[in-house]
Amino acid sequence: MKLSIIRSACGGLRTHPVRLGGRVSGLPRRCPTLPNGPANSRLILRTASATTTGGTDPVLAVNIGKPAQREDRFVCHSSLREVVQSTKEAMAALQRRSSAIQPLLAIIQIELNIIQICLAKDCTEDEIVEEVLKLNEDPRVHGIYLHLPPVSLTSRVLNALKPEKDIDGISDLNMGRLIRGDLSKVFVPPTVRAVLDLLEKHDAPLDGKTVLLVGGEGPMGLALQCLIERNGMVALKSNWNSNSLQKLVMQADGVVLLGAEDIDVPPTWFRPGAAVIRCGPSLVTDDNAIEMPSMSGLEHLVAAYRTQNVVHSYSRWLQEQQYRPWRLHSLKLQPMTPVPSDIEISRAQMPKPVNQLAEEIGLLPEELEAYGRSKAKVRLSVLDRLHTQPDGKYVLVAGITPTPLGEGKSTVTIGLVQALSAHLKLNSFACLRQPSQGPTFGVKGGAAGGGYAQVIPMEEFNLHLTGDIHAITAANNLVAAAIDARMLHEATQSDKRLGINKTDPATLTPQEVSDFVRLDLDPAKITWQRVVDTNDRFLRKITVGQASTEKGQIRETGFDIAVASEIMAILALADSLADMKGRLARMVVGTSRSEKPVTAEDLGVSGALAVLMKDAIKPTLMQTLEGTPVFVHAGPFANIAHGNSSVLADKLALKLVGRDGFVGKSTQSMHTDSVHELRNLLCTFSVTEAGFGADIGMEKFFNIKCRASGLRPDVVVLVATVRALKMHGGGPNVSAGAPLPKEYIDEVYRATFMQTNTHDWPQTCTKNTQITITTDNNMSNLSLVAGGCHSNLKKQIQIAHLFGVPVVVALNVFKTDTQAEIDLVCQIAKECGASEAVPCSHWAQGGHGCIELAKAVNEAACTPSSFQFLYNIEMPITEKIRTIAQKVYGADDIELSPDAQAKIDYYNQQGYGSLPICMAKTHLSLSHMPDKKGAPTGFVLPIRDVRASIGAGFIYPLVGTKYQNKKSTQVEVQFSLFLLREKDKSKLSAIVGFR
């Protein structure tokens, strides 16, 4: 078998750009614009003169299987020249757009001595289909021509062709679209185009005239009939054995004889001036050989049209590679009161099929790898296809220093993109981290958002997803196994048994042999641990190597949670498969006895790690409750790692949303004040979330992730809650699982109820009861709110401004918040430097509750920003730590322990001094002391230890004297006590609008 691809049948041909539904240059005047045609017929044309009793007008005769005559070439010359010239011009235009790729035509034939994919004469249907499927998936091939005997052109073979490569138009799908009149994606068979060309250019115009089709009961005849009629002629059909054949032929202005080449029609049957074309099968077969008659002028025309179809196919393919405007179909929400549980809300909404969502946002079918109905991996080839596409706006969602209950950054992120896409009709993408199983099965629950701002299906988001964390677990534990196996082999085998591949191993000294084959890992300095994706506290410290087969190689080690693996941080920071492989190779797993770092590349496992992670590197596409797109990818911790979703998800989202993505089609369904306002909403957004407070997740996003990605943010959305602000303003501590202190809820309920006719309200309250409600401001906690705003909220806004990025404060409103509290937060936030501050009720209302936030983000994104890093990457490690401590946390200085200083010296010696810093500290305070709320000052930040993730590319100092690497796993407290206490006051809720 020989594979070859014909680049051009006419030498550098191309076509004019074609308007859908318009006319292809080179086609007859009314011939519709269509792609290519079938390969199961051949035209050999010969012009002839015939005389009848009616006169001596010339008759155009087309015969099959006879040598080409000089007059044949003369008749076809004009059409052939036009087709070739127009194809050349179109090809030149396409090459100016994309010079790196040229249209390619692949031909499959049986025992024909031409450039081809040559199959044996006795090849099976399966072998032909196999070749077709290979060509279907070859991105270099833009057209496939099946030059096969009719017996081999089975329905299975024909329909194996991809419609977009079926340049002969022979598949059922192509033919069906052609007959139905759906001409935007089909190819007109080259034979049909040639026949139409000759009919159109006949001496006597055939507009409104009759053309008789004799024979041709198959698809070719039907296609000819349809296109003849669409070109203004009247098409009649007749069988070869019809008794009225002679009469019909004599009355026709044009006659097309299909098949039955052994049947001759007397010239006297044709009326003077009639156009006569005979078409026959392309291959004539017998038991011994396949004949290939000499090529006539019309066959050249058919070949030229086929080549033009290849160029059309290439043009369509090139067009598909361009950015596609979104056609997002949002899902409707019907929020209920009271708000049901998250799982009830999730299950009540039917997500769109993921392939539909992908098509709506401009992804190609080949760029999607579906995992069931509602989620799919997206291939990184999208970045290559859209590399010239300008990015959308880059929005980071961060938060103030949270309570142990969390303040709702994920929920705000989802509510914001629902408002942008589903309500304001602006392209937007949410990029979220993947949750681990530990918190999901603990009391915290998942991370899909909440209320009416969720990613769905909730269960699939929180459980396994597409297996990325399992891939990380396997890769991490492969490294751990390789470490122990290497130490075992080095301890129990001689150097001679390990083998040396070198030109002259005998010349190596014993020390050189040892250096060549031994890593000599120090068991006490191995930093790599095994991981598991479920909190199993009894595995935190373990002893391995106790089996007799391990020959006494016993050591202590332990397990981390899977998302704490350095491989997770690498997944989040890599920008390609090659970059990920390089980072995996650089991971330091321990130190040798000679104080040299030992890497995964030294262990020889970096290639295996890349193979395990080859699918995990692709982001997972999902959707929100309102059908807007979400990328879920990576989930590094925000303490020992940088706490952000992947660089690749952000880059893909920024390309897909585009720059000018206003997709609204009408103003009636948009929640805006005027058409003029709508016209100003021209931004598109990729919205990503940073873990913990802005002092941790946001700072690391800027200094680590933005350095790795090269991306620059446009807006920071800073999430705050009245609850957290009261805590920072001097309120009592909040503990997960315990009832909220009265300071956090009393503002709503401290009211004076006065009733004229009874003293036991509300049990006896009726619809006629007159109620007056007043708020006792003297008993409110507004001072706590103000204190939190002027301390922690103000400091977090200032941190964002250190990086030159505008801030929009999103107040995540709870049903216990009063209007006075909400207004106060928004007022002070703007006084503290926020571009805007707006309340958000997305938890209860979905995207509709975030419309004002979306407008504020859009306005802030359209203002110029001056992003800058906090420190120069070449600064000494100690100075980078000090800069973060003083400018971000508000510390006076830092204090390095002896161990920390020794580590810094070691990292400088190894050449790691230019890596960014990833501070590992408590998220419950700006300082290292969890109980210090607000914006502490006057403290010295202690650095207990300094470690390095060389593969991920950062140094992480451990902050505090008793640093604990643990993450809160407590669930947000539900206001059950309040509900129980107030259950008899439901009528009050209806009257005053409590939420």
Three-state secondary structure of 657-691: HCCCCECCCCCCCCCCCCHHHHHCCCCCEEEEEEC
Q: How much is the average pLDDT of 774-782? A: 51
Q: How confident is the model at residue 962 (pLDDT cuts 50, 70, 90)?
A: low
- pLDDT number for residue 854: 96
Residue 944 has pLDDT above 90, yes or no: yes
Locus of tokens 């992670």: 613
Pairwise CA distance, residues 489 & 347, whole Å: 54
Please list the residues that pair with 281 across neighbouring strands: 41
Q: How far is CA 521 from the centre of its chain?
A: 42
Pairwise CA distance, residues 87 & 76, whole Å: 16
Contacts for 664 with CB less than 8 Å, ≥ 6 apart? 424, 425, 426, 670, 678
- Whether the CB-CB separation of 431 and 410 falls below 8 Å is answered with no
Q: How much is the average pLDDT of 514-531? A: 85
Residue 115 has pLDDT above 60, yes or no: no
Please give the helix or strand (H or E) that residue 469 lies within, else none.
helix 468-492
Rg (CA), the chain: 37
Please list the residues that pair with 521 across neighbouring strands: 592
Strands 393-399 and 715-720: parallel
Q: If you count them, how many residues does the chain have? A: 995
Task: Count other C-beta atoms under 10 Å from residue 118's C-beta.
Answer: 18
Please give the helix or strand (H or E) that residue 220 lies within, else none.
helix 219-230
Please pick, among 843, 855, 967, 985, the residue that the annotation labels catalytic: 843
Ranges of H-type helices in 507-605:
510-517, 566-573, 577-586, 600-603
Pairwise CA distance, residues 68 & 44, whole Å: 7
Sign of the dihedral defined by the CA atoms of residues 76, 78, 80, 81, in that order: positive
Strands 597-599 and 588-592: antiparallel
User: CA angle at residue 820 from 817 to 823, to 5 degrees?
Assistant: 95
Token pair for 608: 């295996």
Locus of tokens 């979220």: 432
- What pTM was estimated for this model as a whole? 0.78
Minimum mean pLDDT range among 175-189, 693-707, 768-782, 895-909: 768-782
Minimum mean pLDDT range among 69-83, 270-284, 364-378, 830-844: 69-83
Q: 131-180: per-residue pLDDT in tens?
A: 999 999 888 888 998 888 888 889 999 999 999 999 999 888 998 888 88
- pLDDT number for residue 349: 95
Q: How much is the average pLDDT of 821-838? A: 96
Pairwise CA distance, residues 924 & 680, whole Å: 40
Token pair for 827: 């007022």
More confident residue, 565 or 779: 565
Please list the residues that pair with 377 across neighbouring strands: 369, 620
What are the DSSP calls for 230-266, one per residue?
HTT-EEEEE-TT-TTHHHHHHH-SEEEEES-TT----
Locus of tokens 């890769």: 475
DSSP symbol at 699: H
Please pick, among 316, 444, 944, 985, the residue that the annotation labels catalytic: 444
- pLDDT number for residue 76: 58
Exposure string of 778-794, with b = 16+ CB inside 10 Å and e = fewer, is eebbbebbbbbbbbbbb
Q: Of all residues in the chain, what percent carry a pLDDT higher than 70? A: 76
Per-residue three-class SS string for 714-744:
CEEEEEECHHHHHHHCCCCCCCCCCCCCHHH
Which of 297-301, 421-425, 508-512, 682-686 has the highest average model confidence (pLDDT)?
Answer: 421-425
Give catalytic status of residue 814 as yes or no: yes
More confident residue, 560 or 279: 560
Locus of tokens 């083998």: 499
Q: 841-875: per-residue pLDDT in tens?
A: 999 999 999 999 999 999 999 888 899 999 999 99
- pLDDT number for residue 779: 37
- pLDDT number for residue 516: 63
Residue 246 has pLDDT above 60, yes or no: yes
Q: 713-738: per-residue pLDDT in tens?
A: 999 999 999 999 999 999 888 877 67
Average pLDDT value over all residues in the chain: 79
The amino acid that residue 591 corresponds to is T
More confident residue, 198 or 511: 198
More confident residue, 14 or 876: 876
Please list the residues that pair with 291 across neighbouring strands: 284
Please pick, among 191, 401, 411, 878, the residue that the annotation labels catalytic: 411
Under DSSP, is residue 395 helix (H, G, I), strand (E, B) or coil? strand
Please pick, among 304, 638, 837, 860, the residue that the annotation labels catalytic: 638
Residue 645 has pLDDT above 70, yes or no: yes
- Whether the CB-CB separation of 224 and 192 falls below 8 Å is answered with yes
Pairwise CA distance, residues 424 & 673, whole Å: 11
Token pair for 93: 């235009």
- Whether the CB-CB separation of 647 and 575 falls below 8 Å is answered with yes
Give catalytic status of residue 557 as yes or no: no
Residue 332 class from Cβ within 10 Å (0-12 exposed, 13-18 middle, 19+ buried)?
exposed
- Whether the CB-CB separation of 695 and 926 falls below 8 Å is answered with yes
Q: If you count DSSP H runs as helices and E runs as strands, how many of each does the chain have, helices first?
A: 36, 35
Please list the residues that pair with 284 across neighbouring strands: 291
Pairwise CA distance, residues 995 & 992, whole Å: 9
Give CA separation, 953 vs 573, 707, 877, 913, 946, in Å: 9, 10, 13, 11, 14
Under DSSP, is residue 964 helix (H, G, I), strand (E, B) or coil? coil
| CB half-sphere exposure, 985, CA atoms < 13 A | 16
Locus of tokens 């400018």: 887
Give catalytic status of residue 638 as yes or no: yes
Token pair for 1: 């078998």
Q: How much is the average pLDDT of 330-358? A: 94
Pairwise CA distance, residues 458 & 449, whole Å: 9
Residue 418 has pLDDT above 60, yes or no: yes
- pLDDT number for residue 273: 85
Please give the helix or strand (H or E) that residue 321 lies within, else none.
helix 297-321
Residue 470 class from Cβ within 10 Å (0-12 exposed, 13-18 middle, 19+ buried)?
middle
Residue 289 has pLDDT above 50, yes or no: no
User: CA angle at residue 531 from 526 to 534, to 5 degrees?
Assistant: 150
Please list the residues that pair with 588 across neighbouring strands: 599
- Whether the CB-CB separation of 145 and 306 falls below 8 Å is answered with yes
Q: 685-716: per-residue pLDDT in tens?
A: 888 888 888 999 999 999 999 999 999 999 99
Ranges of H-type helices in 863-973:
877-884, 898-909
Q: 562-584: per-residue pLDDT in tens?
A: 999 999 999 999 999 999 999 99
Q: How confident is the model at residue 834 (pLDDT cuts 50, 70, 90)?
A: very high
Q: How confident is the model at residue 483 (pLDDT cuts 50, 70, 90)?
A: very high
Token pair for 814: 């709870």
- pLDDT number for residue 445: 62
Please pick, among 88, 177, 278, 409, the residue that the annotation labels catalytic: 409
Which of 87-91, 257-261, 479-483, 965-969 has the highest average model confidence (pLDDT)?
Answer: 479-483
What are the DSSP calls for 753-765, one per residue?
EE-SS-SSTTTT-
Q: How confident is the model at residue 48 (pLDDT cuts 50, 70, 90)?
A: very low
| CB half-sphere exposure, 473, CA atoms < 13 A | 15
Give catalytic status of residue 843 as yes or no: yes
Residue 336 has pLDDT above 80, yes or no: yes
More confident residue, 298 or 30: 298
- Among candidate residues 675, 443, 437, 479, the one with its CA nearest the CA of residue 567: 479
Pairwise CA distance, residues 917 & 879, whole Å: 10
Peptide bond before residue 338 is cis, with ω within 30 degrees of 0: yes
| CB half-sphere exposure, 873, CA atoms < 13 A | 14
Contacts for 299 with CB less than 8 Å, ≥ 6 apart? 42, 43, 44, 45, 68
Residue 943 has pLDDT above 90, yes or no: yes
Residue 838 has pLDDT above 90, yes or no: yes
- pLDDT number for residue 290: 32
Q: How confident is the model at residue 965 (pLDDT cuts 50, 70, 90)?
A: very low
What are the DSSP calls for 136-203, one per residue?
HH-TT--EEEEE--GGG--HHHHHHS-GGG-TB--SHHHHHHHHHT--SS----HHHHHHHHHHHTSS
Sign of the dihedral defined by the CA atoms of residues 371, 375, 380, 381, in that order: positive
Please pick, among 160, 814, 816, 829, the residue that the annotation labels catalytic: 814
Please pick, among 692, 701, 803, 954, the residue that the annotation labels catalytic: 692
- pLDDT number for residue 952: 95
Strands 41-42 and 275-281: antiparallel
Pairs from 540-543 (Cβ < 8 Å, separation ≥ 24): none
Exposure string of 385-419, with b = 16+ CB inside 10 Å and e = fewer, is bbeebebbbbbbbbbbbbbbbbbbbbbbbbbbbbb
> Where do the domains of the chain lie, and which CATH numbers do they carry?
70-282+296-315 (3.40.50.720), 342-466+618-662+681-735+781-862 (3.40.50.300), 468-495+514-613 (3.30.1510.10), 877-978 (3.10.410.10)
- pLDDT number for residue 179: 86
End-to-end CA distance of the chain: 74
Under DSSP, is residue 312 helix (H, G, I), strand (E, B) or coil? helix
Q: How much is the average pLDDT of 554-560? A: 91
Give catalytic status of residue 692 as yes or no: yes
Strands 893-896 and 530-532: unpaired
Minimum mean pLDDT range among 81-95, 202-216, 515-529, 905-919: 81-95
Q: How confident is the model at residue 775 (pLDDT cuts 50, 70, 90)?
A: very low
Q: Of all residues in the chain, what percent carry a pLDDT higher than 90? A: 48
Please pick, among 433, 655, 705, 882, the residue that the annotation labels catalytic: 433
Ranges of H-type helices in 838-936:
842-845, 851-861, 877-884, 898-909
- Whether the CB-CB separation of 20 and 32 falls below 8 Å is answered with no
